[in-house]
Structure 1
Amino acid sequence: MGTVDSPIKLVATFVGYNGAGKTTLLYKILDRPLPPNFVPKVLPWDEGPLYLTTRTEDGREVHLHVRDTCVLDEYDRFRPLNFPQTDVFVICFPNTLDLFWRDEIVRCGFQEVPVVLLKTKVDEVSSDNMEKQVCEEDVELSKDKVGWLYSLEVSVQNEMLVKELVSKIVLAGLSHQKTKVERKKRRCVVL
C-alpha cells in the first residue's frame, strides 16, 4: 500500500480598503453563496472552514486557507494579528493603487512574504471613472515599491479569472514555503 502525502497548507491574507471587493471575492473563491441582505465586513468564521482544496500542477493536494481583514480604524491594532503564518498577501484595489498595505506588511515585519497585486471589480469600469483607473504602467512601476510577484485583474463574475487567481496565489505561497525551508537549512547552530 502506497503512502499518501498530507496536503500542503498555505495561508493567503487578503488586505485592501473597504469597497475593494475582498469579502465578496472570498465567498466566490470558497464557492459559497452570498447570504441574503449581504453587507460585506469580514468573512464570517461560523459558516464553515475558510479554506478550499485545490491541486498543484504536479498533482499535490493544497489546502488554501484564506484570511479576510477589516479596514475600520478600530481594527488597526488587530489586523496585523492575521499576518503570522501568512504564505502570500493579496493586496486588493478597485481603482487606485495605494502603498499603505505594503507599508503595513513591512512595518509588521513580513516583507519576505510574496504579494499578489489584485485589481478587483474590472467588470465595473465605466466612462465615468476611467480617469481614476490604474493603468498598466502604474502597476508595472509599482513592482519595485510593492515587490509583487504576480499582478492580476479579476471580476467575481468571471469564473476563469477567479481560478487563475487561486492558481497564482498557490504558486506564490509555494515559492514562499520553499524559501522558508531553504533558510532553515542554512541556519547555523552555535553549541
Structure 2
Amino acid sequence: MIGGEPYTLGLFDTAGQEDYDRLRPLSYPQTDVFLVCFSVVSPSSFENVREKWVPEISHHCPRTPFLLVGTQVDLRDDSNTVEKLAKNKQRPLSPESGDKLARDLRAVKYVECSALTQRGLKNVFDEAILAALEPPETKPKKRCSLL
C-alpha cells in the first residue's frame, strides 16, 4: 500500500549468467522500474552494476527508472563473512558506497535490504512502486536551428 492505495507488483528475476545475455533483454520491454541488485558482501557484484547491469538496461530501456539495491545487509557485520573478505583484502561495502554509485549512475535511489531478516525489504518494493509511478523527468533536448 502506498498512500492508502494497493498496488500489485509483477517481478521477474532474470538470469545473470553469460549464457543468457541474448535471451535476458527479451524480458525488458514494458518494464516500469528495474531493481539492480548487488550483495554488500560481494565487491565483484558491486562492480558488475557499473560494468554490466546498468549499461545493459540503459541500452535496452533508456527511459526506465531503476533503483540500486544492496542486499544481504545482515552479513555486513557477520564475523565469518568479514573474515573471508579480509583474506582477499576486501571488506563489505558501506551504505555510502552504494549511495555514491547510485548518484554516479543516476539511479532513482539507493536502498538496502536483507531477505533473511526482512530488514528494509518492504521499503525496497515501496520505493520501486514510487519510482514506477513517478518516473524521472527527462530533460528536453537542446536544439540548434541554422538558417
Normalising by the smaller structure, the TM-score range is 0.7 to 0.9
Give the TM-score, by structure 2 length. Answer: 0.73
Greater share of strand residues, 1 or 2? 1
Paired residues, number? 123
Alignment correspondent of 2:145: none
CA distance in 2, matches of 1:133, 1:68: 24
In the TM superposition, what whole-angstrom CA distance separates every residue of 1:28-63 from its partner, at most 9, and x where no partner exists?
xxxxxxxxxxxxxxxxxxxxxxxxxxx221x22211
Q: Which runs of 4+ in 1 moved over 3 A?
A: none
Residue 67 of structure 2 corresponds to residue 116 of structure 1: yes
CA distance in 1, matches of 2:32, 2:137: 10
Alignment correspondent of 2:143: none
CA distance in 2, matches of 1:137, 1:165: 17
Give the TM-score, by structure 1 length. Answer: 0.58
- Is the CA contact 2:114–2:121 (under 8 Å) kept in the aligned structure 1? yes
Alignment correspondent of 2:82: 127
Q: Which amino acid aligns with 2:110?
A: S
CA distance in 1, matches of 2:107, 2:73: 19
Matches within 5 A, 1:98-113: 98=47, 99=50, 100-108=52-60, 110-113=61-64
Matches within 5 A, 1:26-37: none
Identity of aligned residues (%): 27
CA distance in 2, matches of 1:136, 1:166: 18
Among 33, 57, 62, which residue is 1:88 paired with? 33
- Structure 2: give runs of 5+ residues left out of the alignment: 139-147
- Structure 1: give runs of 5+ residues left out of the alignment: 1-54, 181-191
Matches within 5 A, 1:1-191: 55-57=1-3, 59-94=4-39, 95-96=42-43, 97-98=46-47, 99=50, 100-108=52-60, 110-125=61-76, 126-128=81-83, 129=85, 131-176=90-135
